[in-house]
Amino acid sequence: MFTDSISTLPAFLTYLAVALAIMAGFLFIYVSFTPYREISLIREGNTAAAVSLSGTLIGFALPVANVIENSHNLLDLALWSAIACAIQVATYLVTRVALPQIAADIPAGKVAPAVFLAAMSIAVGLINAACMEY
């Protein structure tokens, strides 16, 4: 009985490792699109940077989790994750057009624009996840 329960462990570990690598890759790509350095700001205690980046990571993780649950192979995971990445970057860029000061507000520690960006990222990620149909 235990061997039946644990028989999918290799697939679990594979998907987990690939998903974490994809998440790290997304984080690298995303922070290259923002004019401020979120990780440095977070290390300095900037709550606005932490909120906005956290929302973006959640917004990306939602469709990735959906793909993992419904995908047939790792290629599906990689392809749909790339689409989710592009959509999250586009969400940031659209939000930046709507709130042009966000590029200065987040490094300045203004939380309201960061919360809005986080909410946009999560909302778009949720819709993105729901649209990924197999």
Start-end of H helices in the chain: 2-6, 9-33, 38-43, 47-70, 74-98, 102-105, 111-131
- 0.85 cut: is pTM over it? yes
Range 9-33 average pLDDT: 96
CB 87 within 8 A of CB 61: no
Higher-pLDDT residue of 8, 48: 48
pLDDT, one tens digit per residue, over 71-125 is 889 999 999 999 999 999 999 999 999 999 999 999 999 999 999 999 999 999 9
Q: Give domain limits for the chain.
A: 2-131
